């Protein structure tokens, strides 16, 4: 159709039969599109993985995003739940690859196509298989989307493209430095690994690379060109950890943490410091004050409830998901986090509920 025809095209509802009204349901009469009305099952053979490093990749959605973040990626709350691309890998496979907590995994298809993602070690996937979400695009993921390593074949019968997985190899990405940034202004990292997402106070980014660790000043000049204000710095010569804060008119506008190992700071605390009048050196501590409440990683994005709040409610006697909701409000809006809340209950409580 022409651009003009497309612009004036009236909405339609599938299916659109050649000799009838549009809409209705496929197979509403209980029959498939064959003379005998029965379905035809086709035998399929999945590619074999190679021992040691070969995996069967499956891709899909996570709980709080939709497609490629063109809409849900703009939500500060939804971005706070899982803020970077990840790949789920079984503990046995993680051990064989030498992966540690918060390591980055390099996935490859052939000699040229590759991407990087944070390792999420879990028994939710079977040995020899990986799962990765599809949501992060090149605008949010500096190493490229997961579809870069997905199979691009087409089903010979239906023509359906095979975009949900394929055969990949995996190995630990040997990063020599890691970074975390919280900022009041948009971020545009140019690192080997970077992941950007919205926050309630602006933007955040996870960074990693190889070679010499960049200086905080040089790094931020390239990724946050609109960041203004005076700077404060803390250097730990013994551990190699570097921290830098930006403040403008008495308020924190940016925080950067660089380290030779995955950055161990409270993301929630650093993000919440942006826009406040907290002292720069206090903000660079990267953890909640002794008198402050650290919610921990977000569990319920709707209500802004962290894992520490949930665990505290459980310790104080909440023995069901409903009781957790009453104590914290978690799971009381859309309900998508309820399975995650159930996993936080003690094993004895879950076993009792199953009886």
Q: Give the CATH number of the domain where residue 340 resides.
A: 1.10.10.1100
**In-domain check, residue 302:** yes
DSSP conformation letters of 201-217? TEEEEEEEESSSPPPHH
CATH number, domain with residue 60: 2.40.40.20
Q: Is residue 16 part of a domain?
A: no
Pairing of strands 193-199, 165-172: unpaired
Asked if residue 156 belongs to a domain, the reply is yes
Calpha distance 224→206 (Å, rounded)? 14
Same domain, 120 and 201: no
Tokens of residue 287, six digits: 């953890």
| Predicted local distance difference test score (pLDDT) of residue 248 | 93
Same domain, 165 and 59: yes
Are 155 and 184 within one domain?
Answer: no
- In the chain, how many domains are there? 3
Within this chain, do residues 62 and 92 fall inside the same structural domain, yes or no? yes
Residue 155 domain-assigned? yes
Is 192 domain-assigned?
Answer: yes
Whether pTM > 0.85 for this model: the answer is: no
Rg (CA), the chain: 24
Same-domain status, 271 and 322: no
Phi, psi of 84 (to 5 degrees): -150, 155
Q: Which of 249, 283, 317 is the last residue of a domain?
A: 283
For 44, other C-beta atoms within 10 Å of its C-beta total: 6
By the 10 Å C-beta count (0-12 exposed, 13-18 middle, 19+ buried), 166 is classed as buried
Residues 62 and 155 in one domain: yes
Domain end marker among 255, 283, 311 = 283
**Whether residue 128 sits in one domain with residue 195:** no
Q: What pLDDT shows up at residue 351?
A: 42
Structural domain contains residue 45 = no
To which residue do tokens 């498939």 refer?
32
Using an 8 Å Cβ cutoff, are 124 and 60 in contact? no
Q: Which of 172, 192, 207 is the last residue of a domain?
A: 172
Confidence at residue 348, expressed as pLDDT on a 0 to 100 scale: 44
Tens-level pLDDT at each residue, the chain (355 residues): 788 888 888 887 888 878 877 878 888 889 998 999 999 887 876 555 554 568 999 998 877 777 776 666 666 666 666 778 899 999 999 999 999 888 999 999 888 888 999 999 999 899 999 999 988 877 777 788 888 888 877 877 778 777 788 889 999 999 999 999 999 999 988 889 999 988 889 999 999 999 999 999 889 888 888 888 899 999 988 888 999 999 999 999 999 999 999 998 888 899 999 999 999 999 998 887 655 667 777 888 778 788 888 988 888 888 889 999 999 998 888 888 888 888 888 764 544 344 3
Neighbouring CB atoms inside 10 A of 18's CB total 4
275/221 same-domain check: yes
Residue 47 is predicted with a pLDDT of: 55
Helix, strand, coil abundance in the chain, percent, nearest 5: 20, 25, 55
Most distant CA atoms of the chain, gap in Å: 77
Of 191, 253, 249, nearest to 218 (Cα)?
A: 191
**Structural contact between residues 105 and 87, judged by C-beta atoms closer than 8 angstroms:** yes
* 177: CB partners within 8 A, 6+ apart: 208, 209, 210, 212, 213, 214, 258, 259, 260
Within this chain, do residues 209 and 311 fall inside the same structural domain, yes or no?
no
User: Is residue 125 assigned to a domain?
Assistant: yes
Distance CA 178, CA 121 (A): 19
Shared domain check, 230 and 194: yes
The SS3 call for residue 176 is: coil
Does residue 191 sit in the same domain as residue 247? yes
Q: For residue 258, what are the β-bridge partners? A: 179, 242
- Contacts with 84 (C-beta within 8 Å, 6 or more apart), sequence order: 117, 118, 136, 141, 195, 197, 206
Give the range of the structural domain holding residue 311, as residue numbers without chain letter. Answer: 298-354
Which stretches of the chain are DSSP H helices? 3-7, 76-79, 91-97, 216-223, 267-273, 280-283, 307-315, 321-328, 338-343, 347-354
pLDDT of residue 230: 93
Q: Is residue 289 part of a domain?
A: no
Say how far apart CA 225 and CA 213 lie, in whole Å: 20
> Distances in Å between the alpha carbon of 163 and those of 44, 56, 86, 235, 316?
16, 13, 18, 46, 46
- Give yes or no: residues 217 and 166 share one domain: no
Q: Are 114 and 107 in contact (CB under 8 A)?
A: yes
């Amino acid at each position: 159709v022409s651009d003009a025809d497309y612009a004036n095209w009236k909405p339609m509802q599938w299916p659109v039969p050649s000799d009838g009204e549009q809409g209705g349901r496929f197979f509403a009469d209980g029959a498939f599109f064959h003379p005998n009305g029965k379905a035809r099952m086709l035998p399929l053979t999945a590619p074999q993985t190679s021992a040691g490093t070969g995996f069967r990749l499956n891709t899909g959605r996570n709980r709080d995003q939709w497609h490629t973040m063109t809409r849900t990626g703009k939500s500060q709350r939804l971005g706070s739940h899982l803020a970077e691309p990840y790949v789920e890998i079984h503990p046995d496979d993680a051990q064989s690859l030498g992966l540690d907590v918060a390591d980055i995994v390099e996935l490859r298809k052939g000699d040229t196509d590759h991407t990087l993602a944070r390792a999420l070690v879990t028994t939710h996937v079977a040995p020899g298989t990986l799962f990765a979400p599809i949501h992060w695009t090149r605008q949010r993921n500096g190493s490229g989307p997961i579809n870069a390593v997905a199979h691009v074949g087409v089903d010979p019968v239906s023509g359906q493209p095979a975009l949900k997985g394929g055969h990949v190899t995996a190995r630990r990405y040997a990063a020599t430095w890691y970074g975390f940034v919280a900022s009041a202004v948009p971020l545009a990292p140019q690192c080997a690994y970077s992941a950007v997402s919205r926050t309630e106070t602006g933007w955040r980014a996870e960074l990693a690379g190889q070679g010499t660790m960049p200086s905080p000043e040089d790094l931020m000049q390239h990724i946050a060109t609109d960041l203004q204000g005076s700077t404060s710095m803390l250097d730990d010569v013994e551990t190699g950890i570097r921290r830098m804060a930006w403040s403008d008119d008495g308020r924190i506008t940016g925080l950067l943490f660089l380290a030779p190992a995955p950055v161990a700071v409270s993301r929630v605390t650093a993000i919440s410091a942006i826009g406040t009048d907290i002292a720069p050196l206090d903000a660079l501590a990267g953890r909640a004050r002794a008198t402050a409440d650290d919610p921990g990683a977000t569990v319920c994005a709707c209500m802004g409830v962290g894992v520490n709040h949930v665990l505290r409610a459980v310790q104080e006697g909440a023995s069901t998901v409903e009781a957790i909701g009453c104590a914290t409000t978690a799971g009381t809006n859309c309900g998508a986090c309820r399975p995650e809340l159930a996993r936080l209950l003690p094993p004895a409580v879950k076993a009792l509920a199953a009886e």
